[in-house]
Amino acid sequence: MRILGISAFYHDAAAALIVDGEIIAAAQEERFTRIRHDSAYPKNAIDYCLTFSGLSARDLDYVSFYDKPLSKFDRLIKTYLAFAPKGFESFCVSMPLWLKEKLFQKNRLLNELKCLDETVDWSKRLIFSEHHLSHAASAFFPSPFEHSAVLTIDGVGEWTTTSIAIGKGNDLNVIREMHFPHSLGFLYSAFTYYTGFKVNSGEYKVMGLAPYGEPRYVDVIKNNLIDIKDDGSFRLNLDYFDYCTGLRMTNERFHALFGAPPRSPEIPLTQREMDLAASIQAVTEEVLIKLARSVAKETGERNLCLAGGVALNCVANGKLLREKIFDNIWIQPAAGDAGGALGAALVGYYLFQGEHRNIGKTTDAMKGSYLGPEFSQIEIEARLKAVGAKFEILGDTELIDYCAETLKNGKAIGWHQGRMEFGPRALGARSIIGDARSPSMQKLLNLKVKYRESFRPFAPSILREDVADWFDFDGDSPYMLFVADVKAKHRIAMNDEKIKLFGIDKLNVIRSSIPAVTHVDYSARIQTVSIDTNPRFHALISRFKELTTCPMIVNTSFNVRGEPIVNTPEDAFRCFMGTEIEVLVVGNCVLKKEYQDQAFALTYENNFELD
């Protein structure tokens, strides 16, 4: 049974292919088109899935789309009707698009599929899942759990913004939901907008900014914007938001509540934005924990799966884990809408077809989330030669030794290995890596490599076997979805003067023996690396540990701000030549900046719209 899942037309279009229940391939369209969060029909991602699997389009049994467009239209129309006459401007903007395109998405999909193979009657093979069901399926079915509660929280699907499901074996049933416009995702996005970041891409910046602030607006938020019940269910006070009828997230009343208009992008951050970030983060954590408690109480389940965009809030996930409400938590690495493609395929396989589910006893079915394209050594060499790159080829052991030594010497490396990750995080396949012990690495990477805001922290990739020795965390975090604190023994005590520092002044204080990955509140977003899922990455970190006694390295995504993570060797070379990365490693090819033709150097930082 071969099922292709597709997500498209909103943000983060993707395709995923499962064969007899096994996840074979998955990729986001943005990685091919180089358009961040590309929402277009994922033609390239689909082509990749088919090519990788060796299947032709006619071999597909079903194609499953991740949501129901007409139900979305239902929501839109009813919202306009409920708020009329307010919202006419928004109506005029959205209705032409719907009337011309979005109402006919089924036809659009059928036409696109016909381009793959016009001899197939695709109308018999095209099915539509529901948005939250797709998310829930993406979380439960690849998990290692026979049964579990599933909590999905996002901006909105068709109507649902928050849902609880119960998964058992090959079955999954949604039992409760909350509807638009009452959305935790939109509440967080409202503050993302208000603090001057881009909605749908800036939320994790708000999360990273939160530790610089104090949660002094929590009561203001809870008294005016959101009513949270004991079971975690909530409603928003729409008098303060504009997203139902307007073209912005917040309105004048919201601005008056917090005493100022929204920050303009690229204007320097102030303590106010940091405090707002801290406050909305605290409220989000409170809602998530209350939701989890009520889910545990109602379902009696000891396992929890999470999905939906809000599940990418790894700070909240870490707090949830420490609350010990559930024995085990598993989170889909592509928890946003890209993962909906995978979920849609799984809905088709298990729920539509009723197929049997095989569960890995100890591991999940995501294959480390390394589901994207890979390139053979021969291909890599040919492609790099074609773009004029100069490289040497090292053997496996030599390569690891060289890279570990280079990291130890304080240089950043662009690391392009194996299959590309599926989801927003780089996990050691398309990564920029550095020395976690370096006090200057964070500044270097932010300003000279990633060209991004200086407050943003970096994350460690640590050997699984050593994580409990360095962090207040002892478990698996292979997808960088949990935040935990650096263990006290590795922290550096601060004097009174440093303790009193506020806001961005905290940034330059060295807080631990691994300053490059220690955030201002001693936290870190951890990736545990196992030899089974990424042996080469594990070997590199192991060798680094032998040289330095430190079992972790900095791991950040291989891209600059506003750019999708690199996919091909050519993408990697371009990013390498456009930044101050000194070494690039693609497969067994090593490229050093000083040997490259400087005619290929790019002014890369301005190539992409800032996110």
Partner 1 sequence: MYEVKDIFMKIIIKVIKFTFLWVIFYGVVTPAALFLKIARFEVLSIKNKDNQKSYWMEYAKNKKYVLADFYSQFIK
**CB nearer to partner 1: pick between 153 and 277:** 153
> Which position among 61, 227, 396, 597 is part of the footprint of partner 1 (CB under 8 A)?
227
Neighbouring C-beta atoms of residue 235, cutoff 10 Å: 12
Q: Which residues contact 416 (CB under 8 A, 6 or more apart)?
A: 429, 430, 558, 566, 569, 572, 584, 585, 586, 587
**Residue 291 phi, psi dihedral angles, 5° rounding:** -60, -45
CB of 480 to partner 1, least distance (A): 31
User: What number of chain residues touch partner 1 (CB under 8 A)?
Assistant: 54
**CB nearer to partner 1: pick between 141 and 482:** 141
**CB nearer to partner 1: pick between 79 and 527:** 79
3-state secondary structure 75-117: HHHHHHHHHCCCCHHHHHHHHHHHHHCHHHHHHHHHHHHHHHC
Of the candidates 381, 301, 344, which has an alpha carbon nearest to the alpha carbon of residue 14? 344
Check residue 368 and give left, alpha or beta (phi > 0: left; psi -120 to 50: alpha): left
Per CB under 8 A, the segment of 3-11, 346-354, 504-512, 547-555 that binds partner 1 is 346-354
Q: Does 120 bind partner 1 (CB under 8 A)?
A: no
Using the Cα atoms of residue 478, residue 480, residue 485 and residue 490 in order, give the sign of their dihedral.
positive
Q: Does 177 bind partner 1 (CB under 8 A)?
A: yes
C-alpha–C-alpha distance, residues 37 and 30, integer Å: 6
Eight-class DSSP state of 347: I
Per CB under 8 A, the segment of 4-12, 168-176, 379-387, 530-538 that binds partner 1 is 168-176
> Which position among 147, 179, 255, 498 is part of the footprint of partner 1 (CB under 8 A)?
179
Q: Does 444 bind partner 1 (CB under 8 A)?
A: no
Q: What's the token pair of residue 15? A: 């395709």
**CB nearer to partner 1: pick between 351 and 581:** 351
C-alpha–C-alpha distance, residues 414 and 486, integer Å: 26
> Which position among 199, 218, 244, 501 is part of the footprint of partner 1 (CB under 8 A)?
244
CB of 115 to partner 1, least distance (A): 20
**CB nearer to partner 1: pick between 352 and 402:** 352
Q: Which of residues 207-226 bind partner 1 (CB under 8 A)?
A: 223-224
Q: Which of residues 54-93 bind partner 1 (CB under 8 A)?
A: 68-71, 73-74, 77-84, 88, 91-92
**CB nearer to partner 1: pick between 165 and 325:** 165
Query: How many residues would you count in the chain?
Result: 611
3-state secondary structure 255-282: HHHHCCCCCCCCCCCCHHHHHHHHHHHH
> Which position among 106, 272, 561, 592 is part of the footprint of partner 1 (CB under 8 A)?
106
Q: Does 351 bind partner 1 (CB under 8 A)?
A: yes
Q: Does 236 bind partner 1 (CB under 8 A)?
A: yes
Check: CB of residue 343 under 8 Å from CB of residue 137: yes
**CB nearer to partner 1: pick between 21 and 564:** 21
Q: Does 128 bind partner 1 (CB under 8 A)?
A: yes
**CB nearer to partner 1: pick between 62 and 212:** 62
C-alpha–C-alpha distance, residues 119 and 107, integer Å: 16
CB of 95 to partner 1, least distance (A): 8
- Assess whether the previous peptide bond of 265 is cis (omega < 30° from 0): no
Neighbouring C-beta atoms of residue 473, cutoff 10 Å: 22
Site for partner 1, rule CB under 8 A: 68-71, 73-74, 77-84, 88, 91-92, 95, 106, 123, 126-130, 163-164, 173-179, 181-182, 223-224, 227, 229-231, 233-239, 244, 347-348, 351-352
